[in-house]
Structure 1
């Protein structure tokens, strides 16, 4: 299957499908509607993770300090009421098991990524702040992505305050973490970037991009999904080719299993071309 074949397949998807694929520190090999905005779902959690590590580097937060695990949050809307999360809408019982007790910021950050904990995400947002997350997007070179509110802040959502990403911006953020692990970069120190990549490699939800890779291939990735939305972004480290970044965002009428298969198929095609991921002419 050629890139043109994939373009045609994605163009036929009922909705919007976006892709950015290419090696690190290089122009992409293949893109498709890479600047189209999508509701972020849980992919915004990568920017929250980076904001935490930047705050730790600046001495503003100690990631190993225990903090209260609570379920009461201020709205991003200036006049909005405080709100709480719904347990059954979350993916991680471990954080809810600590409700009204404490946990370290580092542990909460790990649960936010590996199990996509919504409760951990909102607690972390309360400590790092939305402006710090916006700074991460800007430092990574993102052009259109916005993290405007916490999860389940429905008052803010109704007022148009939302979380958006593009495939190009997600690729820029993951690419910045991957290159930043080997040399100083704009987002965080090499040590922090390497630690964040380790957390992303431990991701437990693997039904989309990782499903298109051979077993055992390392991928540092984060996915996100709500009804009608399925995204995945990751840095793949083949043993026989340079690493590459792949971001796929879908806002479609596909069922979630079909959307996962689509992401896996795109991932498999990019993997097959891993030796020839040169910048597009």
Structure 2
């Protein structure tokens, strides 16, 4: 029996880590400098949560190039622009102003959901994103609706009235919280029973989208470099980059804790090969810290392998 090569050993170690948790995993790894690929359930369509914001960013920059959208357009925040979840804009007073480019930065670096729906409206809604992904040969990436629709559905599963209130009222009132146990149970029922994904994609398709950004193939070189700068500005580092040292990380996270903890990006070590890593989880049962640390340990193993590939 022949010995396993290094990429087979790496795949075995990643599989072992994935099998240690009760979750659905999708893993895609591509070593840019010809080092090969790893695909573990990489073609299973899964809920992306905020990973879909990378596809929205690509759509935005392509529309900027065609003149359909201007990043310098100033936006005035209204109460009905505010969304629950991650971000800071829902804390701002109505009347605050910023540019569409500012909104794109917030959408990526802190996963601001208010900024996300502002950008989504600017490009023409979910169908515009789906058309862009299809044009890039990535029709496995599908945006199913805006952030407002998802948060309305979640809140409405706890209190039907919240499914119909104005967006600003939903952001002001938030979720009906009675006890930690009942709130956790309501979120679990929504994830496991409602079948209402934020968006859908495979780990491979998201990884290939990142590769197109890296290779300047999904938009002009200038636009791709703008996207990479935003992704390098990511402020959430509890997963893939956590145990990486001397590595440039251009990435985006996606979470619905503790059920979904995903991370996607381009990671460039000081020496060795850049590597595309796309790790998706869903239907995890357990502690958020445990699944996030497992993703981080996967990133550590992958980047050590990348450091050994000639650049």
Normalised by the size of structure 1, how large is the TM-score?
A: 0.84
Cα-to-partner distance string for 1:66-122 (whole Å, 9 max, x where unaligned): 02323437xxxxxxxxxx623xx23x2256425333221000000001111000001
Instruction: Please name the residue that 1:141 is paired with.
Output: 137
Greater CA drift, 262-271 or 19-28 = 19-28
The 3 A distance-change label for structure 1 pair 25 and 176 is farther
Instruction: Please name the residue that 2:119 is paired with.
Output: 124
CA distance in structure 2 between the aligned counterparts of 1:148 and 1:243, rounded to whole angstroms: 31
RMSD: 2.4
Normalised by the size of structure 2, how large is the TM-score?
A: 0.76
Instruction: Please name the residue that 1:218 is paired with.
Output: 248
Q: Name which of 264, 286, 291 aligns with 1:254.
A: 286
Rg larger in 1 or in 2?
Answer: 2
Per-residue deviation, 1:38: 1.8
CA distance in structure 1 between the aligned counterparts of 2:291 and 2:237, rounded to whole angstroms: 13
The 3 A distance-change label for structure 1 pair 71 and 166 is farther
Cα-to-partner distance string for 1:193-215 (whole Å, 9 max, x where unaligned): 0010001000000010010311x
Count of aligned positions: 259
CA distance in structure 1 between the aligned counterparts of 2:59 and 2:204, rounded to whole angstroms: 19
Q: Determine if contact 1:212/1:266 at 8 Å carries over to the other structure.
A: no
| Paired residue secondary structure (1:56) | helix
The 3 A distance-change label for structure 1 pair 27 and 240 is closer
More helix by share: 2
Cα-to-partner distance string for 1:112-168 (whole Å, 9 max, x where unaligned): 011110000011111102222113322443242211211131467879575112211
Instruction: Please name the residue that 1:108 is paired with.
Output: 103
Q: Which consecutive unaligned segments of at least 5 residues does structure 2 have?
A: 1-8, 155-193
CA distance in structure 1 between the aligned counterparts of 2:285 and 2:277, rounded to whole angstroms: 22
